[in-house]
Structure 1
Amino acid sequence: MADHRHTYTHQLNPDGPHSDDYTRHVASALSESVRVLNHATREAGVTAPNTVYDVLGHAAAAVSGLDQLLRQLNQRLASMHAAGEIGHDNHPPVNAVLQARLMLTEGRSLARALAERVDRAHEITAGMYLIDHSDGSAGGGA
């Protein structure tokens, strides 16, 4: 069986230093983090509602940032295209840029809707707890 473990040695720092390589590494770490969470949340990595709550909180924060990320990528494409810096292998650059920007605009709307729902699920799970059946009582939270 293949070993799918990856080691990331880049420091995550919103203040930079920023570069194309650093940006690609951070994006790779994001997708790998989701993949790892997909495995971790199957069963053994989530045995209590407070874990669901914590993961949802982090997911809500991440998803809410997608709107800004997609907006900024959209702006960068527009700027690079306006400066005549974009070519494309299969389409006239103007068509490819317009299509990509349209998809990013639509994606922003979907990202905002997703962020609202994940944030709401996070709020709802705040009061959940495991019932302790070991002593015959209902256990309790709040």
Structure 2
Amino acid sequence: MTDGRAITEQHFPYDGPHSDDHTTVAAEVIADLVRYLANATRSPGAVTETVTVYDALGSLTTAASRLEQVIGQLATAAARITPPGAASDLTDALHDTRLSLTSFVADLNTAHQVAADL
């Protein structure tokens, strides 16, 4: 099995390049990978061991906590690139989204810890 980080680094090196296009494509890839995971986990052969549940929950917890950071950075960028006050509704909505994600990450982390005991 190939390491997921190596696959990501091959297509999206951590140090860039960073651009509008790369940012958009990275978000699209994340959406497509979640779609893949949703489809795969419907198959009985995709999850046959409890360690798979544990590992998947751990990775999803990490992803969700990183998404929380991304949402905050998108709010900062929106405020920076728009005229003063123009993005206030968006930044407010993204702030609320971050708060929801914080709770989600905590719940997901709890599920991950519980899965350790399976």
With 68-77 and 37-46 compared, the bigger mean Cα shift is at: 37-46
- Within the alignment, does 1:100 sit opposite 2:98 as a pair? no
- 2 CA distance for matches of 1:53 and 1:102? 34
- Within the alignment, does 1:126 sit opposite 2:116 as a pair? yes
TM-score, structure 1 as length reference = 0.71
TM-score, structure 2 as length reference = 0.85
Q: How does 1:80-119 map to 2 (within 5 A)?
A: 80-82=81-83, 94=86, 97-119=87-109
| Shift of residue 127, structure 1, vs aligned partner | 2.3
Query: In proportion to residue count, which structure has more helix?
Result: 2
| Off by >6 Å, runs of 4+ in structure 1 | none
- 1 CA distance for matches of 2:109 and 2:14? 23
- 2 CA distance for matches of 1:116 and 1:52? 17
- 1 CA distance for matches of 2:63 and 2:72? 15
Letter in 1 for 2:106: E
Letter in 2 for 1:113: S
Letter in 2 for 1:109: L
Gaps (5+ residues) in structure 2? 1-7
- 2 CA distance for matches of 1:127 and 1:16? 39
- 2 CA distance for matches of 1:29 and 1:11? 10
Identity of aligned residues (%): 32
- 2 CA distance for matches of 1:105 and 1:14? 25
- 2 CA distance for matches of 1:35 and 1:51? 18
| Shift of residue 44, structure 1, vs aligned partner | 2.4
Gaps (5+ residues) in structure 1? 1-7, 85-92, 129-142
Q: Quote the residue 1:23 is aligned against.
A: 23
| Shift of residue 12, structure 1, vs aligned partner | 2.2
Q: How does 1:7-18 map to 2 (within 5 A)?
A: 11-18=11-18
